[in-house]
Structure 1
Amino acid sequence: MSAVVNEVLTEIRGQVGFITLNRPAALNALTLQMIRALTTCLLAWREDARVQAVAIRGSNKAGPFGAFCAGGDIRFFHQALLSGDPSPEDFFTEEYTLNHLIHTYPKPYMAFMDGVVMGGGMGISQGASHRLVTARSKIAMPETTIGLFPDVAGGYFLSRCPGHTGEWLALTGTTLTAAQAIAMGLADHCLEVDQQAAAWDALGQIDLGQSLQLSDWIATYCIAISAEDIRARGQIDHYFSMDGVVSIVQALEADNADWAQQTAAQLRQRSPLMLHLTLAQIRRARHMSLAEDLRMERDMVRHCFFPRHLRRSAAQTETAEGIRALAVDKDNTPHWQPACIEDVTPDMVLAFFDSPWAAHCHPLCDLA
């Protein structure tokens, strides 16, 4: 059977449910309608005995694969911030619920992470039992570049990367290759680009009642790849274990090595407020369950969109300004408030972690 639900294509072949994100002109950036379609589909397949596993891929303008998912629809966020549209409230609640569903899915869930996999794309792939990358994969959580923080359970999965690489990835938004993603624990196997279609088709022929058949499929289509060590790993652990953002950046600036200077310059371009918030997020999440982290991130994103403690309107937020500079006006000159990391106070940051809801009526209170 096959169905088209907005920009999500679904099909059952054999014992596998197949999902194709079909918004290629926007690199499959997630809309609320797509999130609802994915959730509805996964909930139905969870209870459907015919479906023993799920596979998900993206598409580009030329056809399947090529781009997995570039994240959430940031232009929608920008318009909502300027107009006062409350629909992002539903977007984030339902997106984080979907992220939790994928992380806790009781059946194999295979994410074909070809091409761009960023932000919300990480949210619908990091919980997969099989995270499949290719030589074209570009993997990142670049939210600090748009005045946001790495959400969609980013606190949970980045904080569990080796050493202090999670802080580095979260603060800088650095893009990883397939081999680097495997080294960071953010991917499992690598596929040849030109073998993806064959691997996808072959899944429909597998008898998942035979425990070794999925392992045989992996052995057939996945290639050996050396986990590529991150450049300057020792320096990353040294600098990104420091107490705070100011200590990290100033220490990097005092180091004359090219890597340190480039990293410091990169951080100086990010939202100072969001850098402080993100560092606190990653370090808190390291000691949280998945559900606890998602509830924390839901609190944080509410304050990012409605920062009353900063006496700002939605249109005056770091997120509105970051998206304007990167994706709307494209001048790449965001005017952050505060403009400097040294001017961010603890009170500005701590209030983002205050929940606007009582525990029993939190939008994600049902997550286990």
Structure 2
Amino acid sequence: MTKLQDLLTTGGQSPWLDNLRRDWIEDGELARWLDRGIRGLTSNPSIFQKAIEGQAVYDDQFSALIAAGTPVGDAYWELVISDIESALALLRPIYDETDGLDGFVSVEVAPNLAHETAGTIAAAQGLHARIDEPNLYVKIPGTAEGVPAIEQVIAGGRSVNVTLLFSVNRYEEVIDAYLSGLEAHDGPLDRISSVASFFVSRVDTEVDKRLDAIGTPEALALKGKVAVANAQLAYELFLDRFSGPRWDALVARGAQVQRPLWASTGTKNPAYPPTLYVDTLIAPDTVNTMPEATLEAFDAGGTVARTADADLAGAHAVIDQLAAIGIDLEAVTVQLEDEGVASFAKAFDELLASLQTKADELTGRP
């Protein structure tokens, strides 16, 4: 048994791969990851930017699309959807074997819709209609404008990966949107699925800078601890909200919990252990989506033990200490949400500009 397989069987956590590349689909690398224990895939605009700009394997399809007169923006979605559909087919057996728990592939709505509720709803519905597979997650950002879109898409019976969550308070709004969407759905709930992608390492990246600026022993002692504590309090909220009479009524209709999905779990600071954001966040009914370097590190030397709620008092203490030295975590998470939206939008725009340049070269336009 690999450590990734043990993570699932002993820890109750599904390991997912945070990457998607066409060459991996075609050369069998993705299938090998599935054999090692990977149970799902996530993608985002930055991932597709790196894949499409960095690999000639997309050139034939793109050239054919441009030759047929397809606008560059539409050609981008054709490239992405081709990869998503191929990955969905590879992971469909996992979806069937787990009765709809795992085997999902995520595709994100255009990032320029992050602050448009109606546009996000239309885009999510359009992607689900175009890629009509049960193991598709459409990613909707957990912005203030995204929250009502999540509720509406869930109410329509479609599955959602809520992305770019940094704040426990916003996560609570997302849980309520999921529950309200389920309550509004007219029919069985057993095939409506959702994960809530709670971002981890970026919190430490920003908070650590502020701690260094303060520079006191009390501040420096908190470095590398806040992101994990923040995520652990999110898991505490998950346990609380997915219990009690409201949840029990939905379970009677076949509802599944909206699992926390730990995202951004590769360590950005080389001084931290490469498995920091995996070892500390293991618990039942969770997912951890990891870049391949983190997966390799965990498979080689990770520790499988229930840790996400092993010391919740300690997690609360870390957040309380952070406030006591003058750092407003809620303000940090607002900044990180804005930066996350901007980063994905930038990657999306840069890729479209790159594809436009390539299209102009193919057609001989100056």
TM (normalized to structure 1)? Answer: 0.32
Structure number with higher relative contact order (C-alpha < 8 Å, ≥ 6 residues apart) = 2
